[in-house]
A and B are shown apart, each in its own frame.
Chain A
Amino acid sequence: MNATLAAVMAILGLTLIKATPLIYAALGGVLSERAGVVNIGLEGILIAGAFTSVVVSGATGNPILGALAGVLAGMLLAAILAYVTTRLAVDQIVAGTGLNIAALAGAAFGLVLVYHQPGASHEVPALGRTGETVLVVLAFVAAGVLHLVLTRTPWGLHVRACGEDPSAADSAGIDALKTRFWAVVIGGAIASLGGVYLSLAELDLYSDGMTAGRGFIALAAVIFGRWTPLGATGAALFFGFFAALQFSLQRAGVPSELLQALPYLAALVALAGFAGRVRAPAADGVPYVRS
């Protein structure tokens, strides 16, 4: 009995560990998409957060400073995406794809520059057990806060208006481009915490490919969660649960590739409308140009 309880607790604990970076990335994606910008670059933002926080923590010996630097790096990357997608009205998808490629390569290049070795950084001072707990709790707090911000505050209303009809929002006196810009940047800050969690809380180093497509799983969580903070958090927990079960299910003969494919298949099913009505914000992904 106690053994069963212990096993259940272990799975639940692992679920939280696996879900936390997904929750951060998905919340960043929700905020950005509700304002009308599809952030394909979430993966790149996770990489920027993970890499920069390790480098700064290693250089200063202070992991909290590292975490802050990671968030700044994520915001900076998001700001690039936000600038080109709002002010230059370029295609969001293509720009985000470029951002991912550049971030992955930039971090790999940075590893060689800073640590004179490819593949992985040295071990650096990490956030430790306490820091990890704080980040896990904070992810849920962030989900609740974002929910309230989007549904109860004027700015949240502005964000949603820009995601549905930026032109109407502009007419009503909301600066649609500015609102979109800051939604993407703040979304980047939230998402980068997922990267910080991976490199400084779960581990104490950065290695190439450590984000392992979590940015894309987060995009799937956004869709599966129907573009709401609470829904996306639920989806992230759901995906995290299966990631946590992976080892046990694998031993029971379930192919690991099937489990890994689950978030993507779930998103495809949701997209095709098989899981009830799913509707993206009307102007999601559409560049807005003032006429």
Chain B
Amino acid sequence: MTAAFLRTRAFRDIVVVLVLVFGVGSIAMLLAHVSPIVGFGALFDGAWGTKGEIAETLVQTTNLLFPALGIAIAFRAGLFNIGAEGQLVMGGFAAGWLGAQFPLPGYLAVPMVLAAGTLAGGVWGAIPGIMRARFKANEVIATLMLNVVAILLTTYLVTGPLQQGGANGSETGPLPKAAQLTHLFDTQLTWAFVLALVLAFVLRWVLQRTIFGYELRAAGDAPEAAKRAGIDLGRTALIAMSLSGAIAGLGGATIVAGALHRFNTGLSPGYGFIAIAVALVGNLDPLWIVVASVAFGMLQSGGIAMQAEAGVPKEVVSLIIGLVIIALAGRRVVASLRST
């Protein structure tokens, strides 16, 4: 493919996103009787002003980066996994519950908690994968339904049969110290951020340089040709969905082990949905997704400061994100993927 074409397309997307962010943002701020300079000033300052604020921006970046990477894997395979939210919740639940239930010594506790989250997210992603591979069931609707089921199921479990001591309402008991992620630079930032960055590089390598990555992209780009070339589409779909869910689940586990130190059913303010925008803006390329997640992490952390300092409701940020998703829904994802 011509590099020039890709560049112009990517360039156009960036222009669209910037116009939406600053255009819609300015209009919304003017409606709220706030000068856009003051509003955006508060947003940027709130995201990058102090060491603590930078750390919070990077925490938000991390929380978006995991599900966005998972979504990208599924989208590249031609599977519209919009269930990252549910996979993240299931991962967080498994991490929080097991971590509190079975206190292990330090060097084992964190790996177990993260592995539990990864596994649970993977299982939650595998369900629509199996439904797709076995019954040709539409994964979009299935993942959408499973998002809600995840919230309801975990609420039921933590308030019912799997209730733990020290829990108030829809949450598990507290994680022991050994199962908590260590903080970096004396801030809220944990090494989950580093883990997410490493994962992005690994996924990039897997997608570009391994046979599995090739098969996955082939299944997404040209399913008919891939099938004729002997690639088992059902198996690829199952693996891609499981992997996608596992990465989102790992993200949920890092939120639990890194910030909340227990599972709470409200652990995600929609990271799994915002991450769709992150993955699309990042052109479904793990490295660009890192850049996009920093931008959206900034919007997330700065939005709160914008509301507090400038009096602009933080919902403006969600409004912009929603519009970005609509505007970028035409990414190359569309083209050939949905022919099976």
- Do residues B318 and A93 form an inter-chain contact, with CB atoms below 8 A? no
Check B138 for interface membership: any CB of A closer than 8 A.
yes
Give the CA-CA distance A49 to B273 in the complex, in Å.
22
Residue among B138, B152, B273, B331 having the largest count of chain A Cβ atoms under 10 Å: B152
Q: Say which one of A3-11, A155-163, A228-236, A261-269 lies at the interface with B.
A: A261-269
Check B28 for interface membership: any CB of A closer than 8 A.
yes
Check B324 for interface membership: any CB of A closer than 8 A.
yes
The smallest beta-carbon distance between B134 and chain A, in angstroms, is: 8
- Do residues A219 and B141 form an inter-chain contact, with CB atoms below 8 A? yes
Check A151 for interface membership: any CB of B closer than 8 A.
no
Query: Given contacts A101-B325, A112-B32, A267-B141, are A273 and B135 in contact (CB under 8 A)?
Result: yes
Q: Name the prevailing secondary structure of the A interface residues.
A: helix
Chain B contacts of A80 at CB under 8 A?
326
- Do residues A94 and B137 form an inter-chain contact, with CB atoms below 8 A? no
Q: Say which one of A18-26, A56-64, A83-91 lies at the interface with B.
A: A83-91
Give the CA-CA distance A95 to B33 in the complex, in Å.
30
Check B232 for interface membership: any CB of A closer than 8 A.
no
- Do residues B82 and A97 form an inter-chain contact, with CB atoms below 8 A? yes
- Do residues A118 and B313 form an inter-chain contact, with CB atoms below 8 A? yes
Check B115 for interface membership: any CB of A closer than 8 A.
no
Q: Say which one of A164-172, A199-207, A252-260 lies at the interface with B.
A: A252-260
- Do residues B319 and A102 form an inter-chain contact, with CB atoms below 8 A? yes
Query: Given contacts A94-B325, A95-B325, are A105 and B144 in contact (CB under 8 A)?
Result: no
Give the CA-CA distance A260 to B137 in the complex, in Å.
22
Check B80 for interface membership: any CB of A closer than 8 A.
yes
Q: CB-CB contacts of A256-291 with B at 8 A, as 1s and 0s?
A: 011011001101100111000000100001110000
Give the CA-CA distance A177 to B324 in the complex, in Å.
24
Chain B contacts of A260 at CB under 8 A?
152
Give the 6 A-B residue pairs with the shortest CB-CB distance, closest first: A102-B322, A98-B325, A105-B318, A101-B322, A90-B330, A98-B326
**Besides A109-B315, A287-B338, 18 new A-B residue pairs in contact (Cβ under 8 A), listed by A number:** A40-B144, A80-B326, A94-B80, A95-B325, A97-B273, A101-B273, A101-B321, A105-B317, A105-B319, A106-B315, A109-B313, A112-B313, A113-B32, A219-B141, A223-B141, A258-B156, A261-B152, A287-B334
